[in-house]
Chains A and B, each alone.
Chain A
Amino acid sequence: MEKTKKTAKELIQDYDGPHLRIMEVCGTHTHEIFRLGIRKLLPPQVELISGPGCPVCVTPVGYIDEAVMLALEHQAVICTFGDLIRVPGTKMSLSEARAKGARLQVVYTPLDAVVYAEEHPDTQVVFLAVGFETTTPSACLAVKKAMEKGLKNFSLLVANKTMPNAYQALKGSADAFLYPGHVHAITGTKDCKKMEEEGVSGVVAGFTARELLTALAVTLEKFKEGKPFFVNCYPRVVTDAGNPSAQALIDEVMEPCDSEWRGLGVIPGSGQKLKKEYASCDARMKFNLPKIEGRSNPACRCGDVLQGKCRPSDCKVFGKGCTPQHPIGACMVSNEGACSAYYQYGLEE
């Protein structure tokens, strides 16, 4: 009689292999795994650790200070995704700057910021361009559209980041990576395959319960085989080639630069900046911003959390001085942040 195959859930619950640490690179994976109760299925030798894949969380304090300066000293209207507004800067967040007169517009897409600039020709409009390969194409498209329309009042404060060099920096932090599905919808799977060749294991994972359970089951089964592996567990969205049009758009508008990641420091070649053809849309050049070194609250351990060195609940201010209502660190602000996930779902851990 044919043996009945185990389900993904059973494979996870019955895992009897060696101890392993799996890093959820993507903050949305962290939240969904908590929300779906998947952590409660894991045997004790399987440890999930959060990574740096929340764009708000890795944006350095100095970037918030630049945005506050643009709003208060240059009277620019700041267009931004909503979760950046409450991230603490050295002296204040954008939310606190609003109480001092800063004008903020929360937008769904940078393309809406271009429309806002078009409708307010006498106002300088700056879009806060943060995020990984997933969101960078929308910022590039916004710049191109603003230039096509001849807008002189639209610019980007760019802090976009790319994942490949961050993966390199994180080697050794975990035994296997849950790679972020939507980053690889853009970039394809070549970086993951390169990691496998270099001895680092991982799977690209989707976001539904079925997809996350299957990605974890594949990770555990492959890990037991004792050799590096890579499996694309999200093939309905992620192809080997990724999105060539998006890649070409990024290459046309942006070029690599060194970039500071909160907690990880400066990672060479891990950032994006506008190419000189698009320099008229670079807010730093347009407003001649000085180099700003931000200072975070010394009690905050977001940096360690982002590298998987500690759990959010190991931080002294977690859940006490630092809560979603009164965040001290970026990881508590963003809906994709690890501290926010632990606070919302996992205080008992």
Chain B
Amino acid sequence: MCVGLAAKVVGIKNGMAVIDASGARREVSAELLQDLEPGDYVMVHAGIAIAKITDDDEDETDELMEML
């Protein structure tokens, strides 16, 4: 239930976003994120985009490891 789906936004219309998750497309609500544009990556939960994904996990973890 709480498993998130990382997906790419391929279209926005009337508060809904068409997302592409590894080739599978579906419509989800984009009402809770501002300034969402095609090409953005989002985390989707229960049919709603809840957060923008701002980086890939490689760069993210490299920066964290630098801190140690």
Is the CB–CB distance between A135 and B64 below 8 Å? no
With A182-B50, A238-B51, A243-B50 given, is the CB distance from A249 to B68 under 8 Å? no
Q: Which residues of A contact B38 (CB under 8 A)?
A: none
Is the CB–CB distance between B1 and A138 below 8 Å? no
Q: Is the C-beta of A131 less than 8 angstroms from some C-beta in chain B?
A: yes
Is the CB–CB distance between B50 and A26 below 8 Å? no
Is the CB–CB distance between A138 and B2 below 8 Å? no
Is the CB–CB distance between A210 and B2 below 8 Å? no
Most B CB within 10 A of own CB, among A112, A131, A243:
A243
Q: Is the C-beta of A76 less than 8 angstroms from some C-beta in chain B?
A: no
Is the CB–CB distance between A246 and B1 below 8 Å? no
Q: Which residues of B contact A55 (CB under 8 A)?
A: 1-2
A12 to chain B, nearest CB (A): 12
Is the CB–CB distance between A81 and B1 below 8 Å? yes
Contact of B51 among A56, A132, A185, A231 (CB under 8 A): A185
Contact with B along A221-242 (1 / 0, CB 8 A): 1000000000101111111000
Q: Which residues of B contact A181 (CB under 8 A)?
A: 4
Q: Beyond A138-B47, A210-B60, list 14 extra A-B contacts (CB 8 Å).
A: A26-B2, A28-B3, A109-B28, A109-B46, A131-B46, A132-B2, A137-B32, A182-B2, A221-B68, A236-B60, A238-B51, A243-B50, A243-B51, A336-B3
Chain A residues engaging chain B, CB cutoff 8 angstroms? 5, 7-8, 11, 26-28, 53-56, 81, 83, 108-112, 130-132, 134-135, 137-138, 141, 180-183, 185-186, 206-208, 210-211, 213-214, 217-218, 221, 231, 233-239, 243, 245-246, 249, 334-336
Which 6 A-B pairs rank lowest in CB-CB distance, beginning with the nearest? A109-B47, A236-B55, A138-B46, A185-B51, A214-B61, A245-B32
